Amino acid sequence: MPTYLVTGGAGFIGSSFVLGLVGQKGVRVINVDALTYAGNLMSIEPILEDPHHTFVRGDIRDAEMLAGLFREHKPHAVVNFAAESHVDRSIVAPDAFVQTNVLGTFTLLQEARSYWSELPEDGKRSFRFLHVSTDEVYGSLEPGEPAFRETNPYTPNSPYSASKAAADHLVRAYHHTYGLPTLTTNCSNNYGPRQFPEKLIPLMILNALEGKPLPIYGDGMNVRDWLFVDDHCAAISTVLRRGRPGETYNIGARCEKTNLEVVKTVCRILDELVPQSRFRPHESLMVFVKDRPGHDRRYAMDSSKIETELGWKPAESFESGLRRTILWYLEHPRWVESVRSGAYRDWMKSHYGIA
């Protein structure tokens, strides 16, 4: 039975990926997650009792734990989502980013290589190590510059993107030096259900519903390329199936929007979906706040490689994906309550001064 060792599968993208995978016939998933503030078992509640899914609370820096999982479950693929993922937190406290994103990925690579090197030849050939990375490793684009291609040089600007870039380089080296069949995906900004509300879109949705300020950094004209989370997960599955070992694949939706456009669209959809709200028009809650230090101006992905070589294309439009996302937050108050823990409140208070 195909067995996936997935790391970070209780986080935003990882949970969408394992929920989709466990639904497939004849697939087993071993899901390793440290359950940091960003991990949440409620996100994978529907599959917690599923016999095809095993959840392990563990840290990807723990070599012994990983070695035991490789020995016991003999996975045919590793998909590495586990990471510290929030740029603002990486500016305030970069240590955890180096620990998990660099040392954690290194430890996972070491244990995967040690397991893989003992496999019979056909197992060795079919094994895959897929590392989930970001467009931020390419740095920042000026308006009008062509979108990032896989051949662009790495110029990471934040502690977060620098730690992801370091991990990407290690993955590349493990293929080049040891022949480990690695794949790296570099994706643009995701949005969708179950995203921790420190990121732009869920933060705006939840603050707007409560009549709290909608903090927009700088002039609000920074541009991101937005992709619905299920489209990202479909791209990862495509790369696992058809990607060429040692290659990297850029993933994006050609959906560039300024932050102002994004926040205004969230507000418009909320005005429509919550007509009884006393905070309508929600746009009136927007406030411009101090910019993020070193704030990258624009990201845009050229995904022609994955489109032409592997046949992947995004299915969701921004308008429909955003509507689905907002409806999900409206329909899951129990999940929302569960993530508003002490850690979340502390972050809101220290970063925004919002109680």
Catalytic residue numbers? 135-136, 160
Q: How far apart are CA 305 and CA 107, in angstroms?
A: 30
**Tokens read off for 184:** 């790296």
Half-sphere CA count of 121, side-chain side, radius 13 A: 0
Q: What does 36 interact with, of ligand NAD, ligand DAU, none (CB < 5 to 8 A by kind)?
A: ligand NAD
Residues 175-214, one symbol each (x = binds ligand NAD by CB under 6 A, - = not), give: ------------x-xx-----x------------------
Q: Which of 7, 101, 134, 325 contacts ligand DAU by CB under 6 A?
A: 134
* Segment contacting ligand NAD by CB under 6 A, of 27-35, 176-184, 337-345, 346-354: 27-35
Residues 140-159 that bind ligand NAD (CB under 6 A): none
235 near ligand DAU, rule: CB under 6 A: no
Q: How far apart are CA 42 and CA 31, in angstroms?
A: 14
Considering only CA atoms, which of 191, 238, 219, 194 is closest in space to residue 297? 219
Strand segments, DSSP code E, in the chain are 3-7, 28-33, 53-57, 77-80, 128-134, 182-187, 189-191, 214-217, 223-228, 248-251, 256-258, 286-289
Q: What does 217 interact with, of ligand DAU, ligand NAD, none (CB < 5 to 8 A by kind)?
A: ligand DAU
Q: What does 215 interact with, of ligand NAD, ligand DAU, none (CB < 5 to 8 A by kind)?
A: ligand DAU
Shortest Cβ distance from residue 187 to ligand NAD (Å)?
A: 4
Q: How far apart are CA 246 and CA 177, in angstroms?
A: 11
Residues 88-117 that bind ligand NAD (CB under 6 A): 100, 104
Helices 159-178 and 105-116, interaxial angle, to 10°? 20
The residues binding ligand NAD (CB under 6 A) are 7-8, 10-14, 32-36, 38-39, 59-61, 81-85, 100, 104, 132, 134, 164, 187, 189-190, 196
